[in-house]
Amino acid sequence: MARTSGALSRQVESGLIWLLCVMPLLILVGQGFADALTANPVEYVLRELGLWALRFLCLTLALSPLARFSGWRRALLYRRRIGLWAFAYACLHLSTYIFVDQALDWPTIVKDIVKRPYITIGMAAFLLLVPLAITSINRIRRRMAPRSWLRLHRAIYPIAIMGVAHFYLLVKADHRDPLFYGIIVLMLLGIRLVPRHRAAIK
Ligand code: HEM
């Protein structure tokens, strides 16, 4: 009986996490139907999706320290899933840029990637995320040695830093928002250097 209710509460928890992750997307779709995507809908959607990609990257980084300090060990089980949501939002962000913002104008896209440092860094962060997403598929993950998998997935640290740099460079005047995310990322990376903590997290 206790085991059944434990499994049920885990299913509810898992369903709630899924719902929370899909919610920003549903809100954007709802705003679209309500014609409430501001005067510049493309820029608004592009920026919202980018912001959520960065927030989910931060959340992924936060789960190990959360498990360590709260004792909620199951947080570790959700790292991979939330990381995949970060990738999903980054894919939608990139697709909005390519298909809607630039309307598949490849020469301009290539010029942007080469000439605009914030796009170059965003693209590099995205390309680094791709192998992490692919190796998060259970079948592929099982084929990898755990050490190699962990080593590869440490790329999440530079990716988060690049996400913040991308944000910082694209903002023209008020840098408070990117600095806020920069401080969060630095704290989440710094906490991994605390020796007592290092033993407990990977
Ligand atoms: C891990 C990958 C990425 C993350 C975390 C990310 C994150 C962000 C964030 C946080 C913003 C700013 C949102 C705001 O202003 O409130 C943004 C904007 C933007 N990103 Fe990304 N991004 C990523 C990849 C890319 C890629 C690959 C491209 C294109 C090749 C791209 C193009 C843009 C553009 C064009 C903007 C809006 C710039 C503007 O409105 O002036 N991003 N992104």
Each residue's pLDDT, cut to its tens digit, for the chain (202 residues) gives 566 777 878 899 999 999 999 999 999 999 999 999 999 999 999 999 999 999 999 999 999 999 988 988 889 989 999 999 999 999 999 999 999 999 999 999 999 999 999 999 999 999 999 999 999 988 999 999 999 999 999 999 999 999 999 999 999 999 999 999 999 999 999 999 887 655 445 5
List all residues 6 or more positions away from 92 whose beta carbon is below 8 Å from its beta carbon.
Answer: 25, 49
Picking from 126, 134, 16, the residue whose alpha carbon sits closest to that of residue 78 is 16
Ligand 1 and 182: CB distance under 6 A: no
The closest-lying atom of ligand 1 relative to the alpha carbon of residue 159 is: 1
Question: Considering only CA atoms, which residue is closest to atom 24 of ligand 1?
Answer: 122
List all residues 6 or more positions away from 44 whose beta carbon is below 8 Å from its beta carbon.
Answer: 37, 38
State the alpha helices, DSSP H only, in the chain.
Answer: 2-33, 41-70, 79-95, 106-115, 117-134, 138-143, 146-153, 156-170, 176-190, 195-198
Ligand 1 and 122: CB distance under 6 A: yes
For residue 171, report the distance from its CA to the centre of ligand 1, in Å: 10
Ligand 1 and 63: CB distance under 6 A: no
pLDDT at 1: 56
Question: Considering only CA atoms, which residue is closest to atom 38 of ligand 1?
Answer: 170
List all residues 6 or more positions away from 202 whose beta carbon is below 8 Å from its beta carbon.
Answer: 64, 150
Dist CA 148 CA 152 (whole Å) = 6
Ligand 1 and 47: CB distance under 6 A: yes
pLDDT at 124: 98
Question: Residue 194 has what DSSP assignment?
Answer: S
Dist CA 201 CA 171 (whole Å) = 34
For residue 166, report the distance from its CA to the centre of ligand 1, in Å: 7
Task: Find the Cα–Cα–Cα–Cα dihedral 124, 187, 16, 49, rounded to 10°.
Answer: -30
Residue 62 and residue 161 in contact, taking contact as beta carbons nearer than 8 Å: no
Ligand 1 and 90: CB distance under 6 A: yes
Question: Considering only CA atoms, which residue is closest to atom 33 of ligand 1?
Answer: 119
Picking from 201, 97, 100, 96, the residue whose alpha carbon sits closest to that of residue 153 is 201
Question: Considering only CA atoms, which residue is closest to atom 2 of ligand 1?
Answer: 126
CA-to-CA dists, residue 37 to 52, 71, 107, angstroms = 16, 40, 28
